[in-house]
Each structure stands twice: as structure tokens, then as C-alpha cells.
Structure 1
């Protein structure tokens, strides 16, 4: 008996819901958008008016509204409203007139070797101009203490590779792979700093007779040449970083 009473209550509740749903689907105006809920019907009438104000051709407007009408009759059975499906009336009208907005494409990350070459050239340019300025305006001891051509080339290569590694490690898709992002960021930074310091220490062991400082004019010429190479490769390889 208890089970029968429970089933009767469930059936009564279901019938009540169906009746309410049927009541919602009785349109105010009838005819053109018959069968839609009051809210969806009103949406299409307001959209029709908005399209008239925007000057859309009558045939195009009717075709669009007929398509939306058929789609809404199916979707509203799932409780989906026109606003949820299409956005506001003004947004939908603008989309019909102007076409759907294109999503802005995010720039793709550079390949590792491209990023390494890019950053390596940047460091070469900066160091060349720095050495040139110190050579022109500093003392001879200062110029020699800056290191020679081996220091310049090695630093640029390692800096390019190191920074490419760092930028790659900091990409959102790579950071999201790690549960503790700050730990990953700290480790990537430490690897870069320790590697760079270790390089300077090893290069400093090279005798100055081999790793000799160049004439400041040579540094300036190399810096200008490196800038020209990077400017040319920027269009070919799509460098994304500094010195644009």
C-alpha cells in the first residue's frame, strides 16, 4: 500500500510538471512562433524588430528566424532559452549582420632552437655594444677585464640556450603540468643562474693570450652585423621577443 501511494504521488508530480511545461509553451501572440515559450517567442519578435532596424533584407530575415524557430522548439524541451543559446538580442542581431566574431588566435610559442637563436643574437648584440662603449670610453684595464672574444661568443650561445629553456619552462601549458608551479619556476630560475655562473667561471680560466679582447671598433661592427642578421631572420623565422 505504501509503495502504491508513493507511485501515485510520483505520477501526480510528473503530470503537474508536464502541465506546467505545456502552459509555458502557450504563446502570447500565436501564429508565427506558435509552440515557443513566452520568453523565446518574445526573443524572436524583438530580434525581428532589431534586424529591421539594421536593414537586413526581408527574405534573409525570415530565413534566419525560421531556422532559429525550428531550433528553439527542440532546444526549449531541454530547458534551454533563446538568450542562453544565442546571447542577447543585440548580440545575435550583430552576429547575423556582421557574421560571427573571429576568436583572436594566440601566437604559437617559438620552437626551442628558434628561441635560442633569437636570444643568443640579442645577447651578442648587447654585449658587443657594451664592450665597444667600454673600449671607447673606459680604461684598457676595464676593457680587458670584460673578457675577450671567446667570452663574448660563449656567453651569447649559453645565454641563448638558457633563456630558451627558461621561456619554454614558463609556458602556461608546461607550468600547468606541475602541481606546485612556484617550485617549478624556482628550479628553472636556479638552473639558469647556476649554469650561467658556472660558464663565467670556466671561461675565466682561459688565458688572455687566447681569449683576447678585441678592438672596440671590431665589437661595434660585429654588433651592427648581428643586429642586421637578427632583423633579417625576424621576418623569416618570426622572432617574437625584443628588438622588434
Structure 2
């Protein structure tokens, strides 16, 4: 008996909700007939807002018809036009001017060690490829002249750090600190080359028994490995161009 009473109460509540929904739906007819009053008012005011913004008549009607058909389907699920499309004036502006473009966040300068690591890996890959080609096509004399593994490693590290310093010095915010920019650029370049040459000379003095020359195949393998390492770290550290 109690179960039957509850069932009757639920049926009565459902009928009452259906009556409320029927009252919400417009009964005056018109181009937006069948929508709830709230949704009809939204399209009515959107229609006026689009006219005020000078939208083409046919284009406006096509947009409103699409929104009308969409609202007829989803309003039964409790959705409203404002919830779907946002405020009327904002939607009108979007339809006329297009979606608002998000301003790109200003690019941030990379950390010095990230730039050094990126350039060091690039130089390591290039030197390995060069040593490998020299070994395959230039003969043993060319391979010996290129230096050994210690020369390769040291040159890559120095090149990475030196280029990172050069790029950092050439950034606009750093370059503008100097009164004579071109003089600063030339001196920085000369200093970079001088340091590179001195270190390269010192490494060349290391005995060949320590600074062993590797085979062309090993250099080729190292070039491939270096490329893979840089590709992996690019996703992790976000290597990017220094000058944009």
C-alpha cells in the first residue's frame, strides 16, 4: 500500500514538472517557436545585437537557425542558451569579429646551461660526423690530424659554453646595456675565438696514448647517439632558437 502511494506521488511530481516545462515553452509562435522563454529571449536579443553590428542578413539568419535547432534539442536536457553560448553581447562580438585570439605569452630566455648543453650537443654531433667522414674518405693521416676522443669532447664542451656566452651577450636586453654595440659584438667574437684556439692547442699537446683516435665507425655511432640524446632532451628541456 505504501509502495503504491509513493508511486502515485512520483507520477504526480512528474506531471507537475511536465506542466512547468510546458509553461516555460513559448506559446506565441514566431521564428523561435518551441523554445523556452529564456532561450527565445536570448535569440531575440542576439538577433538585435547582430543587426547593430551590421552582420549580413542571410548570414545572420543561418546562424540563428542553427542555434535555434540546437537549442530545441538540448533544452529538454536542462541546457540554456546562456550556458551554451555565453552572454549575448559577447556571443555577438565573437560571431562578427571571430573568436578572440589569445595573446602569446612573451618568450622567456633559456637558462645559460640549457643553451650551452644544446650547442654542445650540436657541435658534438657535427664533429663526430666530420671525423667519421674524414676517417672513411680522407685516409689515416686525416683521421690522426682530427685528434682523438678527448679533443672531440673538449671542443664540444668549449664550443657549447662559448656559444652560450656569445648568444647571451647578443640578446637585446644585454646588448642595449653597452654604448657601442658593434664594438662589444666584435670584442665578444674575438674573445670567443681566442679562448677556443688556446684550449684546442692545449688539448693537442696531450699524448696520443691518452687522446686516442677512434675508428670512423665509432664516430658515426657517436653522432647517431648524440642526435638521439639531443632529440630526447629537446622534449624535456625545450631547446629553442636563441634569436627569434
Distance 1:50 1:183 in 2: 57
Query: 1:50–1:184: structure 2 CA closer, same or farther, 3 Å change rule?
Result: farther
Q: Please state whether the residue corresponding to 2:236 is helix, strand or coil.
A: helix
Distance 1:95 1:182 in 2: 50
Q: How does 1:66-85 map to 2 (within 5 A)?
A: none
Show CA shifts across 1:179-228 (max 9, x none).
Answer: 22112211221121111111111111112222121111111111111111
Q: Please state whether the residue corresponding to 2:179 is helix, strand or coil.
A: coil
Q: Please state whether the residue corresponding to 1:203 is helix, strand or coil.
A: helix
Q: How does 1:124-139 map to 2 (within 5 A)?
A: 124-139=124-139
Distance 2:199 2:241 in 1: 24
TM-superposed deviation, 1:172:
1.2
Q: Is the 8 A contact 2:125 2:224 kept in 1?
A: yes
Q: Is the 8 A contact 2:148 2:208 kept in 1?
A: yes
Q: Corresponding residue for 1:110?
A: 110
Q: Is the 8 A contact 2:119 2:160 kept in 1?
A: yes
TM-superposed deviation, 1:142:
1.0
Q: Corresponding residue for 1:60?
A: 88
> What TM-score, normalized by structure 2, do the two folds share?
0.61
Q: Corresponding residue for 1:215?
A: 215
Residue 143 (str. 1) matches residue 143 (str. 2): yes
Residue 159 (str. 1) matches residue 163 (str. 2): no
Q: Count the aligned residue pairs.
A: 169
> What TM-score, normalized by structure 1, do the two folds share?
0.61
Distance 1:120 1:226 in 2: 10
Q: Corresponding residue for 1:190?
A: 190
Q: Which moved more, 1:100-109 or 1:197-206?
A: 100-109
Q: Is the 8 A contact 2:125 2:226 kept in 1?
A: yes
Q: Corresponding residue for 2:205?
A: 205
TM-superposed deviation, 1:50:
2.3
Distance 1:124 1:216 in 2: 14
Q: Which moved more, 1:178-187 or 1:216-225?
A: 178-187
Q: Please state whether the residue corresponding to 2:54 is helix, strand or coil.
A: helix
Q: Corresponding residue for 2:52?
A: 48
